A and B are shown apart, each in its own frame.
Chain A
Amino acid sequence: MDDQTKLKDEVMGRIVGSKRIRRRALCIIAAGLASIVVLYILSLTLGAYRIPFEEALEQMVEIIVTGGNPEDMSGRIIYNLRMPRELAVIMVGAGLAVAGAVMQALIHNPLVDPYITGVSSGASLGVMIMTISGLVTTSITTMWMIPAAGIVGAVIAFTLTMVVAEAAGGKAMSYVLGGTVIGMGLSAGTTLIMSFNANHLANISSWMFGSFANIEWSETMLITIPVAVIIGIILFNARNLNTMLLGEDQAMYLGMDSRRFKRNMLILIAVLTAFCVSFCGVIGFIGLIVPHLCRMVVGGDNRVLLPTSMIVGPVVLMLADVFCRSFTVSELPIGAIISVIGVPFFVYLMVKEGKRYAM
């Protein structure tokens, strides 16, 4: 009996005191933050006008300390072009990764992300129509209309996908197929509108492949603030998202109004996605790849998974961005680069996990 009590004490102590996964996540987050800082400074050096690493670092510190507006050429390039652009990369990486993780938890399907469910395409169409309408100038007073149009498009696209997928039985594949079809329809709409507005073509095509090339401070702020607020709300709900992993019924047994929670969260995700793609265009698969990689290492607890995805997302997107700008004078489209990595990853998941999700 004594042995039994001792064994129990030991096992209980191990369970109550075990923070292994949390420590692992903390390590990843710390390493991720450090990488973000290094990549941020590195990216300030890259572009048509190369700036040495030490100078970029000095300039950045000075800009942060004095509050901006440097006099010299390299300072102005860093402040006006490269700093806002790279901050946008960080926020979009975080936003899309978190959006993917939450969507996977809510729809119970590890193969969905904002791109696959058609949300990005919907946002694109909205943004496209608004851009061509000529209502938007470069001033901040009209610029908010772009994400607003993106939000409308995203919510419509997502609603359509959900309706189609649920009507088709709500299986894992229903969401993938529904989203793909709706996404194709909306992209076709975008293409048609483009072909009637050839004068906007150059501008729009770089946007369609995803690009951070024309991002300035006003756009960056219109991405950063809403994305930060929405991620904050989502993190606050991490525990409820865990409950949702068990399915709507089991969540109700745990006292949650799961249908309402699911609906509200999905709308929030559509809005988050819209802000991410409004200015930099469609960047697929980040929301698929990042949560998966993180889940492999830190497990499925959203209280650990979401913060980890939020840090790893920017690292992946910044690496892709640095890659795009390192080889040629005119940069490669980042959306295309991410897709080059994302497509084989998706195929791998389909083949490996397909049977388990009744596809």
Chain B
Amino acid sequence: MPCENEPVLKVTDVEFGYKDEKTLKGISFEINKGEFVALMGPNGSGKTTMMRCINRIMRIDGGRIEIDGQDVSGLTMQEISRICTTVPADTALDFSLTVRDYVSLGRSPYIKTIWWEDEEDERMIAEAMWDLGVANYANRRLQELSSGERARVLLAKGIVQTPKVLLVDEPSAHLDIKYKVQIMEILRELSRRGLTILIASHDINLLTRFCDRILLLSKGRILDYGAPKDVVTESSIEEVFDIKVKIVEEGGTIYVLPTGSTGYASGP
């Protein structure tokens, strides 16, 4: 369970974008060590921009982002890559990389040798592949795997990078329901072991079921931040996503059912 009072990620008054069209406006929040937090919001609400700013692929125009007590604006790319990384939704498949080739790239920020990984790196790579159940595919090429298997390979690369904060962008976009749950279970387990995770996803029901806290984002502002039951209410979802929903509770978890219509057609 998350340890209190130990913010690993601290975002203070972050602004991004030009005056009239700011993508992020005065964003402040903290995530403690080992917490599993969801970034929830409609398309264009600033989720991806937020993540790119934290990983400093984009530079913020105001405010401050600290990871593990260090201001990211003062770090080199390599220093950042040792404390924070992003697991993308999918990856390019054109170049016949094997699972093992791909996962081993996660050690790049630490590499000491010029050519091959050393024994210790190899062991970490193997360990991560085993942990995520992809060890048996080590020599298969990425494009030969199913989406579910590939999603775990992408995570394995993130893990061998041994970050303090793992950002996960739409991990389950192309997955069927079983693998969506599996990815969330893996992330849940990783956070139990002490990894701090921020995930952006549209699967509201999986986020409410697995995450410790939810950060509700709308038009570049934080609307609410707290436990799923407090943040995800019929009125908050209706306000942010502009559709009527019903919240039901089942075994201590809440689920969101879309009952309204967008008014596009008469529909069912």
Closest to A240 in B: B108
Does residue A195 face the partner (Cβ distance < 8 Å to B)?
Answer: no
Q: Is B88 an interface residue (CB 8 A)?
A: yes
Is A6 interfacial (CB 8 A cutoff)? no
Closest Cβ of chain A to B95, distance in Å, is 4
Q: Does A14 contact B (CB under 8 A)?
A: yes
Instruction: Number of B interface residues at 8 Å Cβ cutoff, please give it.
Output: 44
Q: CB-nearest residue of chain A relative to B126?
A: A15
Let me know if A256 is at the binding interface, CB within 8 A: yes
Contact with A along B60-83 (1 / 0, CB 8 A): 000000000000000011111110
Interface centre among B95, B115, B116 (most CB of A within 10 A): B95
Chain A, 87-118, CB within 8 A of any chain B CB: 104-105, 108-110
Report the bound CA distance from A79 to B92 in whole Å: 49
- Asked whether B130 lies within 8 Å of A255 as measured between CB atoms, the reply is no
Complex interface: chain B residues within 8 A of A255 (CB): 76-82, 108-109
CB within 8 A of B105: which of A15, A238, A243? A243
Q: Inside 8 A of A11's CB, which chain B residues have their CB?
A: 126, 130, 135-136
CA distance in complex: A171, B94 (Å): 13
**Are A16 and B81 also in contact (CB < 8 A) when A108-B94, A300-B96 are?**
no
How far is the CB of B75 from the nearest CB of chain A, in Å?
10
Stretch at the interface among B38-46, B117-125, B202-210, B244-252: B117-125
Task: Kindly list chain B residues whose C-beta atoms are within 8 Å of the C-beta of A12.
Answer: 123, 126-127, 130, 135
Residues of B within 8 A of A110 (CB): 94-95
Q: Which of A15, A236, A239, A295 contacts B108 (CB 8 A)?
A: A239
Q: Does A301 touch B at the CB level, under 8 Å? A: yes
Partner of A301 from B97, B126, B138 at Cβ < 8 Å: B97
Q: Measured between alpha carbons, how far is A255 from B136 in the docked complex, in Å? A: 28
> Looking at the complex, which of A30-38, A245-253, A266-274 is the stretch in contact with chain B?
A245-253
Q: Which residues of B contact A356 (CB under 8 A)?
A: 94
B130 to chain A: which residues have CB within 8 Å?
Answer: 8, 11-12
Cross-chain contact A300 with B95 (CB below 8 angstroms): yes
A252: chain B residues within 8 A (beta carbon): 55, 57, 77
- Which residues in A have their C-beta under 8 angstroms from that of B116? 303
Of all chain B residues, the one with the shortest Cβ separation from A104 is B95
Contact A295 B109 (CB under 8 A): no
Would A242 and B105 be within 8 Å (CB), given that A11-B130, A15-B100 are in contact? yes
**Residues in A whose Cβ lies below 8 Å from that of B109:** 254-255
B182 at the interface (CB under 8 A from A): no
Q: Which residues of the other chain, B, contact A16 by a CB distance below 8 angstroms?
A: 119, 122-123, 126
**Contact assessment for B97 and A300 in the assembled complex, using a CB-CB cutoff below 8 Å:** yes
A250-B88 contact in complex given A8-B130, A239-B111, C-beta closer than 8 Å: yes
A295 to B141, CA, bound (A): 12
B85 at the interface (CB under 8 A from A): yes
Quick one: closest B residue to A296, CB to CB?
Answer: B96
In the complex, the answer to whether B77 meets A256 with C-beta atoms within 8 Å is: yes
Q: Which of B86, B92, B126, B138 has the most CB of A within 10 A?
A: B126
Which residues 89-111 in B have Cβ within 8 Å of A in the complex?
91-92, 94-98, 100-102, 105-106, 108-109, 111
- Least CB distance, A295 to chain B, in whole angstroms: 6
Which of A's residues lie within 8 Å of B, judged by CB? Answer: 8, 11-12, 14-16, 18, 20-21, 104-105, 108-110, 236, 238-239, 242-243, 245-247, 249-250, 252-257, 295, 299-301, 303, 356-357
Query: Would you mind naming 14 contact pairs between A and B with Cβ atoms under 8 Å apart?
Result: A11-B126, A12-B126, A108-B94, A239-B114, A245-B95, A246-B91, A249-B88, A250-B88, A254-B161, A255-B108, A299-B98, A300-B101, A301-B98, A357-B94
Shortest 4 CB-CB contacts between residues of A and residues of B: A255-B81, A255-B78, A300-B95, A300-B96
